Structure 1
């Protein structure tokens, strides 16, 4: 559950009628309890891609300001700019975190693509709150090429603080810029009376590419305008709202010590009851209810509040909203835990090894670590974990580089102006006060869930016991017994597996023939189609001309792809060699365990059925399987039995090193065989014979099969589809001789590990190797402290 943000009762309600609870309070209590809000942050292994590359991502799913325990599955989809789905994934969420990858098709056209991430629970609410990230994908063979859109016009809107503009009350305004492309970084403005446009009543300069601010004391009957211009001479004129003769203006100031606010009024009837409600993360944290609320100053101490957006709403005695405002709590005291990093001297030499460590934090279960060439940008430079957690996870409008509001040198005044221009959209007061709440159509299921139905001769089988035998790699066969309900249905909940899971089934009642039994499995989850229109991009696609030269950045992207491909290929070869060696070692151990010295030979071939099923499950007689796999082995039949011959000579058969008649082999189930050894020529156990032997060894206690599906062939089988498997990201190890013959290394991502789990009571050591030309490194480390509910965050260039 989300951490509850609680004020002392004496601070929570200041009222002449403490027991009074209006519609607003009741509504927010229901909404907070029954409709928690999840939000998702995505970090990518790099900023831009080339067709044919792998795109890796890590997700953090929050319930408010804490890692979410609501959802255990994450849906991630990849779209092109026409909203055509390219790929989709379902991933497990462990402690609110998950990771995966998309393999971008090699023929993908150059353009902007969109990654959508959501949970089933989030689909009950507005799609605007789902994660939707844009990425650029380059392809030099594509007919179109991406260029930054620097020609689109920009527009602006003005927003009075609290939403009101009243005669004689000095009012703060936020000016917000919008554009399909890039908004100007250098812009300014001034305010005029339309009747006297040559006199500037107020002047200001934009804080950034999003917002600026000014203050003005208006007069009734005067029409005001703000005139804006950028460094390129572009100009916009925006009307201010009409000046009201009466009303209430909410004025707020933030600081490290408190949030201070007051209500200024004009021509308001005395004795009217007003109340102010403060909410954070849809939870009531502050309330004042009094007839003497106007013209007073109030202070909200923030000691017991977390960083985040506070919504202040002023209601009249009929619970109409008369003013409202968003404020960020303690913008200059961001509660961030930096990981304790021990950096030794980093070596920027080509392909040099570098090692650093992260101190133990018992309240963080895993770190995400990304290291890139320090001269390049990361996905965190525009949309950071902090900006998602505290801003864009709740604010859905387009914000240029929201990460800037939470860096070490951020401008709190700019963030405050940005929030003046925004409204809280997680809920609408009037809607929930009328008793209208979201319709819950999608409930979160525990991990992978399947629904099943059992029928016998086409009719439902109520209250029937069903045996399910799961084939689990490395663990063998596991039996589970379930019982159907009164309509023949059952559920398989909480399955955590990747790719596919094979199972077989049969009724517990052996009297019912299996041919009469049918079991239907259906996944109890689904990808939910995207309804909204994709947002516009800062890039535009133009026709590629013959002879067009690639930009230096695109050349680097292509070189990066080639470098990573070479490293991946080398790593695959190394892994194959290791697997073969590992398999060989295990087979050697099995041979040592089962064979006596008398049955050892320099001319033997060993078939291992413990560590490799060798595709023998479909055979009734192991001798049939051997034919064609052993050079020179032929089978003759004699009275229904197979007689093995090598080079024309009959071969003796030994079962656990005891000579047996060939007829006995028919009674040995393949599933019970651990190893078969074919020995050619002389061996000691033949006691003088030189024709060789086929030695069959059966399983002993504790041996499990690599794939025991032979035992299940008599049962009906089914394949369940689970979570999508993540492709491994290869971090090259230049200490390994096999990597040293790679000709060029121009990787931009030097290290990527989305889920690095520390060992107990040990610092976490990380080794990475430089590429051929990086002069410094950008180090990004993320996590979450589950005790203090603080993000763990580090994003700096280290030299």
Structure 2
């Protein structure tokens, strides 16, 4: 037997490479091409909580993986909400940075009680089957709905049998796995037995199920005999199915995944002794092991695991013609999951209502930020059913329904149950026959660099070929950013790598002094797009039944309804407080702006200031500023006479100033409102009027480059404004709910999520502090901490603090 290993940093194999000879290498070449050109992304959505009430906010953090590491392929995640009929309710786009993103969805208050679905995907994932999208059922309760949700315990279940490696051969003792499925819940307690079809009373083998998914047993079949499996649940419901036909010849692959090595044995019956076999092992579509076996025997072979990552190993046995004769999945080192743990220090907990709690995460310089969540442990943990670990290592790569997959990676995990589950699954990220025949996925969607837009410029109705265009972006909270682009022969250009929320305004001008006003038009369309859902929504474990007036609302839902009401009261209080703050802040900012722009000669105790930098004055709909001012200041009259505007104050003419220089009204009326920073109406005599007694209309244009300052007045006045759509804005989670003492007056606090921060910075050289406020009755707290270090090693903590 000759063995060789491939090497890649993600798997980090560095074992001895030995000579390997085989007549064909189509499988290896096809796998290498697939790995290099068609990486596979998967997503885990971690929700702020498990159950929701209509009208609540749902917060989530999205983890995007390329195999078993944070993905660097995609920089956007698309998140959509669907009802049972596959009708889309909302859609959002959020940025992904180093494989992580976050966002929120506001569940409409009018949603009826039902199961809804959140779909998450990247553009790159659109090149492959939608079955690998993250499609997550969520329960949304609404006590006012005529129907209520209940667990479906009466749905029928089915059983299927899977022999290890897919072969069931005469005289070879084989492990068989029984897999349960249902549109509702499968039984938790069940057992089974094997009989001959001709003698159903004599039990040859009996076994008990591991969990709601699988059970397993060993059996040696005899050629010519037919066998039946009978499965019975704890309600006495039975199902009888036939075992596969017993083959008279073939190869059986038997695998054991141990702590130090994956060990396997090939067993055969009635096979040509001159035929050679090839065994290929791949992890996440990457070749990590291959071997040439010249004769089938009971010899045990080993694949060392000390330099392998946790994950699924796909072992495939090929004959000399590269036909698949046996195949088996197993998990590498299920006994020892390679997960980092944080060190918590200075834990300070209080059971007093609305009191402060805190702990410190000991410094880890290799981790830049954490997701941290603190919930009342009385509420259901969203990670209990399908955790980040089970998505990363299991469900993200399979499309069948797996009940409570998080159990396979928890503290009390059953490694035999996980192994049985993998015997009943197939690796579907690729099909050997398909890629070996040269049929690979068609790439329709290229990886994007955050938000990208395609632009087309025309000049006098024709493509502005190889033209130079100046773009001036008004970046939210960042002032102005200047960009220069050059079009191609068709007048096309691309903007990429944009990161901004909501909308962004920008202006453009052809870099050509001879270009007349409005001679150039620029059109934009996004280079990214939401993709239609082509697969069916998965089944769930609930049914709707008629609601009665005597029905009791589940305690957790009662708490959510109560808390929603309390949060509305708190929101009203916060709104009033915020409005007062904003008004005071705006007043201060306007005063600062006035001081920056106007000289002492243009100050008066009898002045009215319009601030277009810090306040939205709703002036963009007016063709010029003088139209906007009409009727907004007592005593000021603006009229059109002989084609020119005039301004009077109680019958006396007022002067016009542009940046404190006297100008004609025509010069004022031609300035786009978007170029104006401030307008000051001064009544009566002032120093800058040089003796004028009736005051002035003083216009101040934008200059400079940061918010609160002004654009350079040398910018052309004929710039055309355009709006670009950016990322959806995430609703901020209020971790400092009781920093304002007045907030403590809300009647009841039944929050289940007490702290939520997807991006808590890890401070270099010091502990990272987590501080939250209690609700009214929490007795202990569930804390989740997730992060990745500089080597992409996972830190995962999901524990209860008491």
Per the normalisation by structure 2, the TM-score is 0.91
1:275 aligns with 2:278: yes
Answer yes or no: is 1:222 the counterpart of 2:225: yes
Q: Secondary structure in 1 aligned to 2:118?
A: strand
Deviation at 1:543, TM superposition (A): 2.9
- Report if the CA contact (8 A) 1:617-1:708 is conserved: no
The alpha carbon displacement at 1:687 in A equals 12
Moved more, 100-109 or 325-334: 100-109
Within 5 Å, which residues of 2 pair with 1:764-775? 764-775=768-779
Distance, in Å, in 2 between the alignment partners of 1:673 and 1:83 is: 48
Conservation of the 8 A alpha-carbon contact between 2:152 and 2:542: yes
1:170 match: 173
Please state how far the C-alpha of 1:300 moved relative to its aligned partner.
0.9
Question: Aligned-pair distance for 1:568?
Answer: 3.4
What is the match of residue 259 of structure 1?
262
Tell me whether 1:537 sits opposite 2:540 in the alignment: yes
Relative to structure 1, the CA distance from residue 418 to residue 644 in structure 2 (aligned partners, 3 Å threshold; closer, same or farther) is same
Q: Which residue number in structure 1 is paired with residue 44 of structure 2?
A: 41
Pair 618,394 (structure 1): closer, same or farther in 2 beyond 3 Å: closer
Instruction: Check 1:148–1:629 CA distance in 2 against 1; reply closer, same or farther (3 A cut).
Output: same
Match of 2:784 in 1: 780
Q: Which residue of 2 aligns with 1:631?
A: 634
Following superposition, the deviation at residue 152 of structure 1 comes to 0.6
Whether 1:471 and 2:477 are equivalent positions in the alignment is: no
Q: CA deviation at 1:607?
A: 3.6
* 1:738 aligned residue: 742
Distance 1:582 1:253 in 2: 68
Q: Secondary structure at the match of 1:381?
A: coil
Cα distance in structure 2, aligned partners of 1:731 and 1:464: 50
- Structure 2 CA distance for partners of 1:558 and 1:642, relative to 1, 3 Å: same
677-686 or 325-334, which moves further after superposition?
A: 677-686
Cα distance, 1:700 vs structure 2: 6.9
The number of residue pairs the alignment matches comes to: 793
Report what 1:561 is aligned to.
564
Distance in 2 (CA, whole Å) between partners of 1:207 and 1:583 is 65
C-alpha deviation, 1:101, in angstroms: 1.7
CA–CA separation in structure 1 for the residues paired with 2:624 and 2:443 = 57
Partner in structure 1 of residue 194 of structure 2: 191
Q: Is the 8 A contact 2:74 2:448 kept in 1?
A: yes
Q: State the SS of the aligned residue for 2:348.
A: coil
2:21 matches 1:5:
no
Shift of 1:697: 6.3
My pick for the range that moved more, 350-359 or 22-31, is 350-359
Partner of 2:352: 349
**Structure 2: distance between partners of 1:556 and 1:680:** 59
For residues 342-397 of structure 1, the C-alpha deviation after alignment (integer angstroms, 9 at most, x for no partner) is: 24231121111111222333333322222111011122111111001000111221
Q: Once the 2 structures are TM-superposed, how far is the Cα of residue 748 of structure 1 from its aligned partner?
A: 1.2
Residue pair 2:471, 2:506 contacting (<8 A) in 1 also: yes
Q: Which residue of 2 aligns with 1:518?
A: 521
Structure 2 CA distance for aligned equivalents of residues 373 and 246 of structure 1? 59
Which residue matches 2:4?
A: none
SS at match of 1:77: strand
CA–CA distance in structure 1, aligned partners of residues 774 and 700 of structure 2:
51
Cα RMSD between the aligned structures?
3.2
Equivalence for 2:383 = 380
Cα distance in 1 for partners of 2:599, 2:486 equals 48
Aligned equivalent of 2:250: 247
Aligned to 1:152: 155
Report the Cα offset of residue 730 of structure 1: 2.2
Indicate if the aligned counterparts of 2:280 and 2:317 stay in contact, CA closer than 8 A: yes
How far apart in 2 are the matches of 1:181 and 1:637?
75
What is the CA distance between 1:636 and its match in structure 2?
7.3
The separation in 1 between residues aligned to 2:619 and 2:253, in whole angstroms, is 78
Are positions 1:61 and 2:64 aligned together? Answer: yes
Does 2:726 correspond to 1:722? yes
Query: Is 1:754–2:758 an aligned residue pair?
Result: yes
Pairing 1:90–2:93 present: yes
**Equivalent residue, structure 2, for 1:798:** 801
Matched, 1:327 2:330: yes
> Partners of 2:669 and 2:231 in 1: how far apart?
92
Which of 370, 373, 378 is the matching residue for 1:370? 373
Quick one: distance in 2 between partners of 1:255 and 1:692? 90
Match among 112, 123, 128 for residue 125 of structure 1: 128
Please state how far the C-alpha of 1:776 moved relative to its aligned partner: 1.0
CA 1:259/1:620 → structure 2, altered by over 3 Å: closer, same or farther? closer
Does the 8 Å contact 2:479/2:706 carry over to 1?
A: no
**Cα 1:680/1:323, change in 2 over 3 Å:** same
Q: Paired residue for 2:289? A: 286
404 and 199 in structure 1: CA distance in 2 versus 1, 3 angstrom threshold: same
Q: How far is 1:676 from its partner? A: 4.8
What secondary structure is seen at the aligned counterpart in 1 of 2:246? Answer: coil
Q: Which moved more, 1:344-353 or 1:712-721?
A: 712-721
Can you give the 5+ residue segments of structure 2 that lack an aligned partner in the other structure? 1-6
Give the C-alpha shift of residue 5 in structure 1: 1.8
Match of residue 435 from structure 1: 438
Structure-1 separation of matches of 2:720 and 2:429? 49
Assess, with a 3 A threshold, how the Cα gap between structure 1 residues 686 and 36 changes in structure 2: closer, same or farther.
Answer: closer
2:187 equivalent to 1:181: no
**Secondary structure in 2 matching 1:566:** helix
Residue 501 of structure 2: aligned partner: 498
For the 8 Å contact 1:451–1:523, the answer to whether it is kept is yes
Q: 1:161 aligns with which of 147, 159, 164?
A: 164
Name the CA shift for 1:564/1:612 in 2 (closer, same or farther; >3 Å). closer
Q: 1:127 to 1:687 in 2, by over 3 A?
A: closer
Moved more, 187-196 or 542-551: 542-551
**Can you give the 5+ residue segments of structure 1 that lack an aligned partner in the other structure?**
none
